[in-house]
A = this chain, B = another copy of it.
Amino acid sequence: MKTSKHTFFCNNLNDLNLPPDESHHAVGVLRLKSGNHINVTDGKGNFALVKIIEPSKKNLTFEIVEKFQQAKPTTNIHIAIAPTKSNDRIEFFLEKATEIGITEITPILSANSERKKINTERWEKILIAASKQSNNHHFPILNELTKLHDFIKENNSENTQYYIAHCEADKPRTELKDEQITQKNNCILIGPEGDFNLEEINLAITNKFKPVSLGKTRLRTETAGIVACHILNLIS
């Protein structure tokens, strides 16, 4: 399979051109020229080796050399996480979870949430950049910021195993790493800096979210998200 070291995003490969920001990166930053080969991905599993025809900074055009398809992940990892107070920390989670293989992200608002707004456009850019970097042609789905109560009520599919990771050591929890994954879809709730409160934990458990621990050490929110994603990736 021939590929280039540079990968660009384009919503539909058959458009035969890159959107303005990707065109600018290719031509304005990387100085790519007519005749150079690049990879183009649609983030939905389709990608192609293409040849640059017109190296325009606003609307790079290309012709397709060879098309490829990447198989969908066999299991889905959906993490619903309270954004951290520090943007750097949650953005690092987004990047690392994407590299590891997350498939869906829902930012959630919980009682102890320190951050109540997110910059969706910036988050999307991070997910796209990390997907390209890790050769993942299925970009993760990013959902809207959702209240925890709504999330719990709306997420009750029979084909999904739901988990809640919390730090209440005196409440019964199993180790996520010891779980037997039987579902194609797995979804886990990760709390904010101050953890979920007891009412939230109980609501989740009543609604079939299985309480789990992510290990013996105390983890920051973004680390818990990375570790949960990695465990689900390893055991599924």
Contacts and interface: CB of A to CB of B under 8 A. Distances in A.
A217 interface: yes
Contacts of A134: 217-220
A58 interface: no
Interface in A125-140: 133-136
A215 B177 contact: no
Given A217-B135, A218-B135, A223 B99 contact: yes
A88 B141 CA distance: 26
Copy count, this protein chain:
2
Given A101-B217, A234-B177, A234-B234, A223 B136 contact: no
A231 interface: yes
Given A100-B215, A215-B100, A219-B99, A230 B227 contact: yes
Interface in A191-230: 215-220, 223, 226-227, 230
Contacts of A227: 100, 230
Contacts of A133: 218, 220
Interface of A: 88, 92, 95-96, 99-101, 133-136, 177, 215-220, 223, 226-227, 230-231, 233-234
26 contacts: A88-B88, A92-B92, A95-B223, A96-B223, A96-B226, A99-B220, A99-B223, A100-B217, A100-B227, A101-B215, A101-B217, A133-B218, A133-B220, A134-B217, A134-B218, A134-B219, A134-B220, A135-B217, A135-B218, A136-B217, A215-B233, A215-B234, A226-B226, A227-B230, A230-B230, A231-B234
